[in-house]
A and B are shown apart, each in its own frame.
Chain A
Amino acid sequence: MTGADWVEWISWAILAIGLLQNVIYTVQLPAAWNELRAHSQADDTESSWELLISHTTLPISLLVPAYQEEATIVSSVRSMLALKYPQLELIVINDGSKDRTLERLIEAFSLDAIARAHDLAVPHAPIRGIYGSPAYPQLIVVDKENGGKADAINAGINIARNPLFCVVDADSVLEGEALLRAVRPFMEDPQRMVAVGGAIRILNGCTVKAGQVTKVGLPRQFLPLLQTMEYVRAFLMARLAWSRWGMLTLISGAFGIFRRDIAIAVGGFSHNTVGEDYELVIKMHRWLQKRKQDYAMRYVPEPVCWTEAPDTLAILGNQRKRWQRGALEVFFKHRAVCFNPHYGKLGIIGFPHNMLADVLGPLAELIGYAFIPFFWYMGFLNTSFLLAFLAVFLIYGVFVSVSCLILEEMELKRFPKARDLAVLGLVSIVENFGYRQLNNFWRIVGWWQFLRKQKSWGTMTRRGF
């Protein structure tokens, strides 16, 4: 092959990968819309009310792993105890904090040491003590040796007594009726439903009182604002569409409800990956597919968990590199699923899509940014190619983001003001010129860290609300 052939081959390959991604985004949009219309809970206040007053919900264990949270743990637990859910058990797992997280809990909730029979179904670091309170019978605090977030959740799974569990970060804010909404798919299809994901939204810019979001607002800082648009796109389009197609491969660890028996059957959350939430879902898929069990996983956009977004480049970069590492760890660990017909449409379509999005996509985009303009500048490619490249990797992104906003406005209307929509509309243009490329850079660094087998989480400094 001559040099010209290489240039042509590389250029067309990059363009093809970008086009394929865009085609997938395009078909995701109507699928997401159909899923929203089919299962919308937006107007159905009566069913939520009936669930609340009749106590006929499926019991849920809310697992809250906590590490070094002394500043906010008491207020977080109080707000979770106030959640509108009739049959809720709240299990806080203190993962060997070196600060006064446990002491603060004991003081605030008058906790005493208790005995609690539990199965050692999934492995975790030793438990030092279990605490309960007669004043708060639904609250259990587990004190254990440090083992990491996955380890802490596994301890919570073992201690939990309810058929469903939900993992929530200690500093996240669950909407009052979030669990009532998120549990409905399990009640609608009790034999098949194994996991349900809810929406994560950005807390920055919102007003929080007594542990509840009382006023929704957009972040005032640019970085969290960009992330607001990203989250709308990810949760309102991608998750809904894959839920519609029965190939949901990611339920965010920040807000997901899982069947406890299935999670135990697959060994709980894995310790050896930073993408433990993604990996749990893939393990569940594999386990259920192997047994040819009829099952379902769904994403529900109405229940919301609010979480603080990083507001500095350093912290955001660490987060994105970690996410990329996690995606690659899980992909390569479970690469046997890819293109494997034994895993049904997950193997043929779902997981290969993840390969495109997480493995090939960032590399193709990086090579494209690096080489296409250079090739054009050097006269190796003509202007029509450059325009097509810009269209695929910049302009089309505007269409996708704006379409997600349109979907949000038509079906959910969670942004209170017209001004918010206008701002996000502008963001959806601006994000493609700079932020997208920066994200891609972080993803490439994540690739590099993955190849170097880096394991750390980095630090996330939270300001608190």
Chain B
Amino acid sequence: MSVSPSASETLLLLDIWLVSLLLALVSLSVLLWLILSRLHSQRKYLHLAERRKTLYSLFHTALQLPAPPTPDLLPKLGKSDYGIICSIALDMLRNLRGGERQRIVDLLKSWDTLPYLLHLLKQGRRGKRIQALSLIARFDTPEAEEILLKHIRHPDTYTQLAALRGLAARGDIRHLDQAVEALAQSNQRNTLMLADILSRFGDAAAPFLIELAGSDALPEVRSAAIMTLGNMRALAAVDSLIRLCHDAHPEIRAAAVAALGEMGDSRAGDAAVLLLRDEAAPVREQAAHALGLLVFQPALPALAACLSDTAWWVRFRAAEALHRLGDRGLAMLRSVSVQPDEAGRIARDVLAEKEVA
């Protein structure tokens, strides 16, 4: 009994053997080359580490001088030094404040690092691009501003955030309208990071944020604008946010009522009470939470009704809000706590947690 493959089958079998062997040998060769490259770069790395120490000392010395050193006093840099000084500058800028930061930036300018940073922007991968933008943002030149404005439309969302962060760091809201337009058209979805950056523009950004919140941008972008308005306690936005409590997107309704709760303006109370009956549980939850922050007494009956909501988080936030309403809220919680149902259970649990059972 013997199986004899046909000629084509034999050829296929031998091809499998040869291709596998070839691939294994090629991959081993590539790995060997990488190992040798690593050995070479390990030596180079030691040299770079020494060079970094030298340049770091230079930065420290420059910071301690009474006046910034002029370019002719600074040592010339080699090609490989630019990466090191930019890395040192980023490290130091994270830890320094005030005039010392400006000294770092002046050093970078004296060494004419801008062409290197522009090269990184063009050729570097995302991480390097963001580092370059972070440094360029410190340059108080029209060219730097132009670069940042160009990159607020970058298709990579992290690069866009870095450019916006850079604009915010310059404390200049002249271009906020362009930023808002860019965001309205972007696919930015990082609500939290965007909200943090928008808040760095300061109170003067409120009108732009109100516009962005009501635009037809992605819900994530609008939510970021709303969140920022809440964090800023921009009372001028209250009416707009109350209108947004009726938005078609549940994320927007939730964000709007949450922001109104942060602002603490009692005008939002009625709108929040209405949202306790919203079809989306996250909206109801935020509304209950907001009513607790607002300490809106007229909401007591509606909050008590929410203790029987189907969603645990709505029940929990309603119980917490009742607790915040003071004696009347506590009395309501205690009276419900004897019930054998879910409302009674959440009332008991929250009372126990707040240690007022």
- A interacts with B: yes
A contact residues vs B (CB 8 Å cutoff): 2-4, 7-8, 11, 15, 19, 22, 37, 40-47, 49-51, 54, 56-58, 114-119, 121, 187-191, 375, 379-382, 384-385, 387-388, 390-392, 395-396, 398-399, 402-403, 405-406, 409-410, 417-418, 421-422, 425, 429
- Cα-based distance from A406 to B16 in the complex (angstroms): 23
B131 CB to closest chain A CB (Å) equals: 6
Contact status B24-A399, CB under 8 Å = yes
State which of B17, B26, B189 has its C-beta within 8 Å of the C-beta of A390.
Answer: B17
State which of B5, B20, B38, B126 has its C-beta within 8 Å of the C-beta of A40.
Answer: B126
Residue of B nearest to A114 (CB): B353
Contact status B125-A421, CB under 8 Å = no
At the interface, yes or no: B31 with Cβ under 8 Å from chain A? yes
Contacts of A385 in B (CB 8 A): 3, 5, 13
At the interface, yes or no: B80 with Cβ under 8 Å from chain A? no
A195 CB to closest chain B CB (Å) equals: 17
The residue among B14, B192, B220, B319 with the most chain A CB atoms within 10 A of its own CB is B192
Contacts of A3 in B (CB 8 A): 1
Contact status B20-A395, CB under 8 Å = yes
Contacts of A405 in B (CB 8 A): 31
Residue of B nearest to A425 (CB): B31
- Cα-based distance from A417 to B5 in the complex (angstroms): 48
Contact status A190-B220, CB under 8 Å = yes
Residue of A nearest to B40 (CB): A418
A265 CB to closest chain B CB (Å) equals: 12
Contacts of A46 in B (CB 8 A): 90, 127, 130-131, 134, 162
B277 CB to closest chain A CB (Å) equals: 21
- Cα-based distance from A45 to B131 in the complex (angstroms): 8
Contact status B352-A115, CB under 8 Å = yes
Contact status A117-B13, CB under 8 Å = no
Q: Give the interface size bracket for B toward A.
A: 35 or more
Contacts of A49 in B (CB 8 A): 94
Interface Cβ pair total, 8 Å cutoff:
173
A90 CB to closest chain B CB (Å) equals: 18
Contact status B189-A188, CB under 8 Å = yes
Contact status B27-A409, CB under 8 Å = no
Given A41-B127, A46-B162, A395-B24: A187 and B193 within 8 A (CB)? yes
State which of B17, B34, B157, B196 has its C-beta within 8 Å of the C-beta of A188.
Answer: B157
At the interface, yes or no: B165 with Cβ under 8 Å from chain A? yes
Contact status B5-A56, CB under 8 Å = no
Given A117-B346, A390-B17: A51 and B130 within 8 A (CB)? no
Contacts of B10 in A (CB 8 A): 382, 384
Contacts of B288 in A (CB 8 A): none
Contact status B14-A387, CB under 8 Å = yes
Given A47-B130, A406-B27: A40 and B157 within 8 A (CB)? no
Contact status B42-A399, CB under 8 Å = no
Contact status B38-A418, CB under 8 Å = yes
- Cα-based distance from A418 to B42 in the complex (angstroms): 8
At the interface, yes or no: B100 with Cβ under 8 Å from chain A? no
Contacts of A44 in B (CB 8 A): 126-127, 130, 158
- Cα-based distance from A40 to B27 in the complex (angstroms): 23
State which of B13, B27, B352 has its C-beta within 8 Å of the C-beta of A402.
Answer: B27
Contacts of A41 in B (CB 8 A): 127
B85 CB to closest chain A CB (Å) equals: 16
- Cα-based distance from A58 to B189 in the complex (angstroms): 14
Given A387-B14, A399-B23, A421-B34: A47 and B353 within 8 A (CB)? no
- Cα-based distance from A8 to B3 in the complex (angstroms): 6
Residue of B nearest to A2 (CB): B1
- Cα-based distance from A290 to B175 in the complex (angstroms): 46
Residue of A nearest to B188 (CB): A188
- Cα-based distance from A187 to B196 in the complex (angstroms): 13
- Cα-based distance from A417 to B131 in the complex (angstroms): 27
Q: Mark B210-227, 1 if CB is under 8 A from A, else 0.
A: 000000000110000000
Contact status A42-B127, CB under 8 Å = yes
- Cα-based distance from A134 to B305 in the complex (angstroms): 33
Given A418-B35, A421-B35, A422-B35: A395 and B127 within 8 A (CB)? no
Contacts of B124 in A (CB 8 A): 43
- Cα-based distance from A419 to B207 in the complex (angstroms): 59
State which of B23, B128, B130, B189 has its C-beta within 8 Å of the C-beta of A190.
Answer: B189
Given A44-B158, A384-B14, A418-B35: A54 and B196 within 8 A (CB)? yes
- Cα-based distance from A147 to B125 in the complex (angstroms): 48
Contacts of A384 in B (CB 8 A): 5, 10, 13-14, 17
- Cα-based distance from A380 to B4 in the complex (angstroms): 8
At the interface, yes or no: B355 with Cβ under 8 Å from chain A? yes
A375 CB to closest chain B CB (Å) equals: 8
Contact status A57-B126, CB under 8 Å = no
Contacts of B352 in A (CB 8 A): 115, 117
**A-B contact sample (11 more), CB < 8 A, given A8-B3, A406-B27, A406-B31:** A4-B1, A46-B90, A47-B127, A117-B319, A119-B312, A190-B189, A380-B2, A385-B5, A387-B16, A388-B12, A421-B31
Contacts of A380 in B (CB 8 A): 1-3
Contacts of B134 in A (CB 8 A): 46
A30 CB to closest chain B CB (Å) equals: 14
Residue of A nearest to B36 (CB): A418
At the interface, yes or no: B39 with Cβ under 8 Å from chain A? yes
Contacts of A11 in B (CB 8 A): 3
- Provide a sorted-by-A list of 21 A–B residue pairs whose CB atoms are within 8 angstroms: A7-B3, A41-B127, A43-B127, A51-B193, A117-B353, A119-B313, A187-B192, A190-B192, A191-B219, A384-B5, A388-B14, A392-B16, A396-B20, A396-B23, A402-B30, A403-B27, A409-B38, A410-B34, A417-B38, A418-B42, A425-B35
**CB-based closest 6 A-B pairs:** A43-B127, A117-B349, A391-B20, A115-B352, A44-B127, A119-B312
Residue of B nearest to A46 (CB): B130
Contacts of B193 in A (CB 8 A): 47, 50-51, 54, 56, 187
Given A43-B128, A398-B27: A381 and B34 within 8 A (CB)? no
Contact status A121-B31, CB under 8 Å = no
Contact status A379-B353, CB under 8 Å = no
At the interface, yes or no: B204 with Cβ under 8 Å from chain A? no
- Cα-based distance from A120 to B195 in the complex (angstroms): 34
B42 CB to closest chain A CB (Å) equals: 6
Contact status B192-A409, CB under 8 Å = no
Contact status B3-A190, CB under 8 Å = no
Contact status B17-A388, CB under 8 Å = yes
